[in-house]
Structure 1
Amino acid sequence: MQRLRDNPECADEERVAARDFAAPGLRPKLVFDPAEDIAAPFVAGAVHVGGARPKVAILREQGVNGQVEMAAAFDRAGFEAFDVHMSDLIAGRVTLDGFKGLAACGGFSYGDVLGAGRGWATSILERPGLREQFAAFFARNDSFSLGVCNGCQMLSQLKPIIPGAGHWPTFLRNRSEQFEARLGLLEVVESPSLFLRGMAGSRIPVVVSHGEGRAEFASNLDQTAARTALRYVEADGTPATRYPANPNGSAGATAGLTSEDGRATILMPHPERTLRTANLSWAPAGWGEDSPWLRMFRNARVFVG
């Protein structure tokens, strides 16, 4: 049935994986202590001097549904999260000037009928004033940007106005031809990403939930030059080339990328949905309250200072 409904090659690969009774399953590996709150001194310092929390815009569009988890992630790391709908920016009720960070959330903007994140990006690129506002935000040396899932697809379309993002791919329909919702394994790759500092070499389970996550680069040169920050891996740490360990068929097992200076990071899986170990459907017995993915958001707080 799966061969008839889905890509038959993916069905065969999943069958082989399921019948490999010697397969080790997920094997997490951490190079840092997730219980260490590296942002605590900065949060405490701000409280001591009566300073306000840094502001981050939790950006969403029609059909986006991941804004609450994203806001919770930044709030827990010491930010003040603001719900910013695209209609607020278009109408001029809100501008990006007062925000240190911008997080484009996951979901299905315009039902994805206009392509993965393309309609959302077009609403920015085709409005000169809004395009200039986003370009100015991305150009600021003190700003950061994060795009997850639908937000990843959208920011990838904004690469002409994001410094150092020219080699980013576009995201197309999954190789399986189906929506993928599962627990996968990611490896953090050495990169300039401010979100992933001190995490390179770690392998961490993460929620995967997307229908159009296959990274396709414009050329082999772009794939080589792109700053890969995260990739799908097998249990032994080798890049995942087969389904379902590589859930979408991305070239190079690409799961996330960053800009040249590390201030903009995009990824397809959902770290913001796994802030607590309890959020994972499975985790090693020794892990404490905080999931390793919370470090991403604490790293952002350290960047702001």
Structure 2
Amino acid sequence: VDVHMTDLIEGRHRLEDFKGLAACGGFSYGDVLGAGRGWATSILERPGLREQFARFFERPDSFSLGVCNGCQMLAQLKGLVPGAEHWPRFLRNRSEQYEARLAMVEVLDSPSILLAGMAGSRIPVVVAHGEGQARFDQPGHQDQAAVALRFVDNSGAVTEAYPANPNGSPAGITGLSSRDGRATLMMPHPERVFRTLQMSWHPAGWGEDSPWMRMFRNARAWVG
């Protein structure tokens, strides 16, 4: 179901009617000058909407995913998300430019319900962002955060080197989970490579679905 912010603001939809929220990428606010922050501000500055999001995140039967601009937005809403207090903000890429390419990420062992059963996988994924560099607010937050995805180089080693790490995030961090796993955010775009034909190359044995399809099947299985 496509739900626009105006639908929530004007009451045509309410989050209480849904179990899952996918905050998508797609050049929110022109993808410049804190695009995700502008999106989050449109929620935080409206008391009724802020309360609606807080109630949704607190519901034990809800899950959420933030991708790219949606990742930036959820990171700015971390005060409303249980178990997300150590999440970073996502700031201008170290390269000072928009980066769009296939990158290699490793899925880490995290509580994320969407990445269940995928830990240890190293999978190509689309990146397309200008503001993806993770910046933690306090010393120690990086060590306490539930990191779910990180950039690796061609040998599988964690990297901060450009271009394998397109934004310069520390320790290659590019995806995180809340402590209970119901909220997941990431800068890469798995929804753009869920089919093998969207890959520049793939092993012949993969068939039609890429490994990223597992995320969406995990969501369906969790909802039950």
What is the TM-score when the length of structure 2 is the normalising length? 0.98
1:218 matched to 2:130? no
Structure 1, unaligned stretches of length 5 or more?
A: 1-81
1:234 matched to 2:158? no
Report the alpha carbon displacement of residue 218 of structure 1 after superposing the two structures with TM: 1.1
Aligned counterpart in structure 2 of residue 154 of structure 1, from 57, 67, 73: 73
Aligned counterpart in structure 1 of residue 116 of structure 2, from 194, 197, 200: 197
Q: For residues 200-245 of structure 1, what are the alpha-carbon distances to aligned partners after superposition, in whole Å with 9 as ceiling and x for unaligned?
A: 0000000111110000111231111011000000122210121111
Aligned counterpart in structure 2 of residue 257 of structure 1, from 159, 176, 179: 176
Report the alpha carbon displacement of residue 112 of structure 1 after superposing the two structures with TM: 3.5
Match of residue 11 from structure 2: 92
Q: For residues 89-145 of structure 1, what are the alpha-carbon distances to aligned partners after superposition, in whole Å with 9 as ceiling and x for unaligned?
A: 000111011101000000221224441301100000010000000000000000000
What number of residue pairs does the alignment pair up?
224
Please state whether the residue corresponding to 2:106 is helix, strand or coil: strand
Q: Is the Cα–Cα contact under 8 Å of residues 107 and 121 in structure 2 kept in the other structure?
A: yes
Aligned counterpart in structure 2 of residue 270 of structure 1, from 189, 198, 205: 189
Structural mapping, 1:33-48, within 5 Å: none
Aligned counterpart in structure 2 of residue 103 of structure 1, from 15, 18, 22: 22
* CA 1:116–1:252: 2 relative to 1, 3 Å: farther
Q: Is the Cα–Cα contact under 8 Å of residues 146 and 177 in structure 2 kept in the other structure?
A: yes
Alpha-carbon distance in 2 for matches of 1:227, 1:220: 15
Q: Is the Cα–Cα contact under 8 Å of residues 188 and 201 in structure 1 kept in the other structure?
A: yes
Alpha-carbon distance in 1 for matches of 2:46, 2:32: 21
Q: Is the Cα–Cα contact under 8 Å of residues 116 and 172 in structure 1 kept in the other structure?
A: no
Match of residue 116 from structure 1: 35
- Give the RMSD, CA atoms, in angstroms: 0.9
Structural mapping, 1:22-171, within 5 Å: 82-171=1-90
Q: Is the Cα–Cα contact under 8 Å of residues 110 and 147 in structure 2 kept in the other structure?
A: yes
Aligned counterpart in structure 2 of residue 248 of structure 1, from 152, 162, 167: 167
Report the alpha carbon displacement of residue 302 of structure 1 after superposing the two structures with TM: 0.9
Greater Rg by CA: 1
Q: Give structure 1 regions of 4+ aligned residues with deviation exceeding 3 angstroms.
A: none
Q: For residues 5-44 of structure 1, what are the alpha-carbon distances to aligned partners after superposition, in whole Å with 9 as ceiling and x for unaligned?
A: xxxxxxxxxxxxxxxxxxxxxxxxxxxxxxxxxxxxxxxx
Alpha-carbon distance in 1 for matches of 2:138, 2:104: 27
Match of residue 173 from structure 1: 92
Alpha-carbon distance in 1 for matches of 2:20, 2:98: 30
Please state whether the residue corresponding to 1:151 is helix, strand or coil: helix
User: Structure 2 counterpart of 1:126, which letter?
Assistant: E
Match of residue 187 from structure 1: 106
Alpha-carbon distance in 1 for matches of 2:35, 2:142: 20
